[in-house]
Structure 1
Amino acid sequence: MINVEVSSQEFHCNMECHVFINHCGKDVKKTVASLVYHNLSNKRLRVFLDCKSLQQGQPFPLTIHQAIASASIHIAIFSNKYAESAWCLRELCLMEESGAPIIPIFCGVRPRDLRQNGGVYSKSLRKHRLTRRVDGETVEKWRATLRRISYNYGFQFQGDQGIVLEEIAECIMQHIEAKRRLQFSRVALSWDANLEYKILIICKTIRYGDVHCRGCITAADVIGLFKN
């Protein structure tokens, strides 16, 4: 019999990714989102794009949440119909709450459109409130999030697409490398702190300086053991 049980930990590991792509499917799923996905994937990055990464039978909301939480960096592709999607806006809030950087890509809109009263995004938010499917507090949270993200330095997807895609990829790679170096530094610092503690314990354990080990071992010898 085939064992098909998958633990929550194993499922979570399957959803770990370098990059999460947030986008409005009606506008850019088959165009900009797919181009960005394939370009980053070709550089051996783990990229989450719902239509490419989700598998039949996976719980959609949980999978999205885990992918956002695990991502080192997020891409938000802002297009004309983006703010019509409550799901896009919920994802954006989760991305911001995760603390990972958010790189905006503007397609057919400008940064000020995300925060401008009377603009396309403002009108979409007003529709959410009028339909009463979303409470006013949530709509205002979305508005505030859009406003903050609109000031993030990003990319206009126009002109030579190949050049823009490579610029996006270079930016993503730099962020991921910076995070990797930071994690390595933290591990090294942790190792140094633990080393001092371990040396102290060893010296106490062997009763450093008593008749049994005098002249046989020094603190420098102990440090040498840890470095080898």
Structure 2
Amino acid sequence: MASTLSSARRRQERDPFLVLEPPKNMVKSSLSAKQFDVFINHRGPDVKTTLAMQLYNSLKEDGIQAYLGSEETELGDSLSPTIKNAIISAEVQIAILSPRYAESPWCLAELALMFQTKRRIIPLFYHIQLSDLSRIENRVAEAFSNHEEKGRYPDRDIQQWKECLQNVAGIKGYELNGQNDDPNKVCKDIVSAVKKELQRREIPFQVAKYEVGLEDLGEDFDSHWQINGQMIDTIIGIYGIEGSGKTTLVKYLFKRNLSEFSGSTSLFDVRKKHAKGELTSLQSKLLNELFGTKIDHKFCSIEEGTAHIKHDLQRSQESRFLIVIDDVDDKMQLDALLPIDALNPSSLVIVTTRDESLLRQAGIRVRYKMKEMNAEHSRQLFCWHAFHRPSCKRGFENLVDSFVEACQGLPLALQVEGGRVYGSDKGYWRLELYSFKARLQT
């Protein structure tokens, strides 16, 4: 009997998420249906009743559902499945890195699972040197030596914990390391960053009024920039003539892939905004959305903005970003918004332009040419705008076919012409068709 109890105890000691993958079937418990906005990863003896609790209360006061630990764990819950569920459900992860953090296999296992969810991770470095984490030195190195000597956990898990700790040290976060640092201000800043991230994920993102053929187009695009599900390159270029649907496609891709990245930004109409002298505003927008940085002023120069972007990207080398830069017509715009050498290789940048040569000039190797919509999708899109339904109204079949043929598979033309004849009789349709064909010839 004693042997059985001892064996069970050893298994419990080794529990810290030896299986790090998110569970396929959520464990049924009183928390299994509860969703959290934020998970706070921390070592209890270091910060539980002080900094972690202060941050938890600050989030709670703003109506943000945060998971701290025992406050959300009810009697009868199994600790390991409960924590896994909380991490997987949280949209934002906060890691409080304290001096003795690495001594806790639970903290390290949580951190590894946090990285696997690919959600936004916000580090808070509390009286610990970044070099100790990034290089696994001093007390951090001692903690890992103890894990290895005790032999409670597989070497592959310990190695993964080391890598995750080094990765989190490379993410831009918040620091509380001196007597003059203000915990209240730091907690307030973190709450603001969390709120912004939650709002960004909740805002409904309309790709197009009528999403026709985008799933097929997205699959075709994937076949060009992925091999066996793996990215060929970090930066992908999409090119095509005006009205070919580049912006609609990139909106669809942005929305579809958003949850896979820790941060994202979408910069549309770059060509027009550059012509208006608003390139520095786009630089500020990129920094605000990727890093939660509050920049209310314009940079004094494009060069200053580029330097800030490069610095913050290098500071967050382990963060995976999704960046859309839409409708560029000058390499200067890409240089200002995209310091390529500072990007994490696992990030994804999608650039759209009318000019393929610009992509070549910028060194973008993976280039996708927009295709014409096929006849079926063209007819559906036109009918949605002409009749507010996907099929043709009886008696208009020949006119619809004529418009579809004239639009030559260009989504913008199908939308505009369909909208122009909406609610009109056949006589107006014929006049508009004649006028449209005449415009095409000029």
Q: TM-score, normalised by structure 1?
A: 0.79
Q: Distance in 1 between matches of 2:164 and 2:28?
A: 30
CA contact (8 A) 1:20 1:71 kept: yes
Which of 182, 193, 197 aligns to 1:171? It is 193
Instruction: Give 2:32's aligned amino acid.
Output: H
Larger C-alpha radius of gyration, 1 or 2?
A: 2
CA contact (8 A) 1:17 1:48 kept: yes
Q: Secondary structure of the equivalent of 2:185?
A: helix
Instruction: Give 1:193's aligned amino acid.
Output: E
Which deviates further from its counterpart, 34-43 or 47-56?
47-56
Pairwise CA distance, 1:112: 1.6
Instruction: Give 1:142's aligned amino acid.
Output: W
Which of 387, 396, 399 aligns to 1:209? It is 396
CA contact (8 A) 2:37 2:65 kept: yes
CA contact (8 A) 1:115 1:122 kept: no
Pairwise CA distance, 1:157: 2.3
Question: What does 1:1-40 align with in structure 2 at a 5 Å threshold?
Answer: 8=28, 11-14=31-34, 16-40=35-59
Q: Secondary structure of the equivalent of 1:103?
A: strand
Pairwise CA distance, 1:18: 0.9
Q: Secondary structure of the equivalent of 2:71?
A: helix
Pairwise CA distance, 1:13: 3.0
Q: Distance in 2 between matches of 1:84 and 1:59?
A: 22
Q: Deviations over 1:59-90 (max 9, x none)?
A: 22222111111111100001111111111100
CA contact (8 A) 2:94 2:124 kept: yes
Q: Distance in 2 between matches of 1:47 and 1:29?
A: 14
CA contact (8 A) 1:115 1:121 kept: no
Question: What does 1:75-224 align with in structure 2 at a 5 Å threshold?
Answer: 75-158=94-177, 159-181=181-203, 184-185=204-205, 188-189=206-207, 192-193=210-211, 199=383, 202-204=390-392, 206-207=393-394, 209=396, 220=419
Q: Distance in 2 between matches of 1:208 and 1:68?
A: 57
Note the residue ranges of structure 2 that are not aligned, 5 or more in a row: 1-26, 214-376, 398-417, 424-442
Instruction: Give 1:20's aligned amino acid.
Output: F
CA contact (8 A) 2:30 2:77 kept: no
Q: Distance in 1 between matches of 2:395 and 2:37?
A: 48
Pairwise CA distance, 1:118: 3.4
CA contact (8 A) 1:129 1:139 kept: yes
Q: TM-score, normalised by structure 2?
A: 0.43
Q: Is 2:255 the counterpart of 1:67?
A: no
Q: Distance in 1 between matches of 2:105 and 2:31?
A: 26
Q: Deviations over 1:141-181 (max 9, x none)?
A: 11111111101111112522211111111121122222223
Note the residue ranges of structure 1 that are not aligned, 5 or more in a row: 1-6, 211-218
What RMSD over aligned residues (CA atoms) do the two structures have, in Å? 2.9
Pairwise CA distance, 1:128: 0.3
CA contact (8 A) 2:30 2:74 kept: no
Q: Deviations over 1:24-44 (max 9, x none)?
A: 011111111100000011000
220 and 50 in structure 1: CA distance in 2 versus 1, 3 angstrom threshold: same
Which deviates further from its counterpart, 152-161 or 19-28?
152-161
Count of residue pairs brought into register by the alignment: 206
Pairwise CA distance, 1:50: 0.7
Q: Deviations over 1:177-211 (max 9, x none)?
A: 22223xx11xx22763159858566425x54527x
Q: Distance in 2 between matches of 1:160 and 1:149?
A: 22
Q: Secondary structure of the equivalent of 1:156?
A: strand
Instruction: Give 1:12's aligned amino acid.
Output: S
Q: Distance in 2 between matches of 1:145 and 1:60?
A: 22
Q: Distance in 2 between matches of 1:75 and 1:96?
A: 11
203 and 9 in structure 1: CA distance in 2 versus 1, 3 angstrom threshold: farther
Q: Secondary structure of the equivalent of 1:121?
A: helix
Instruction: Give 2:91's aligned amino acid.
Output: S
Q: Distance in 1 between matches of 2:195 and 2:182?
A: 20
202 and 103 in structure 1: CA distance in 2 versus 1, 3 angstrom threshold: closer
Instruction: Give 2:96's aligned amino acid.
Output: I
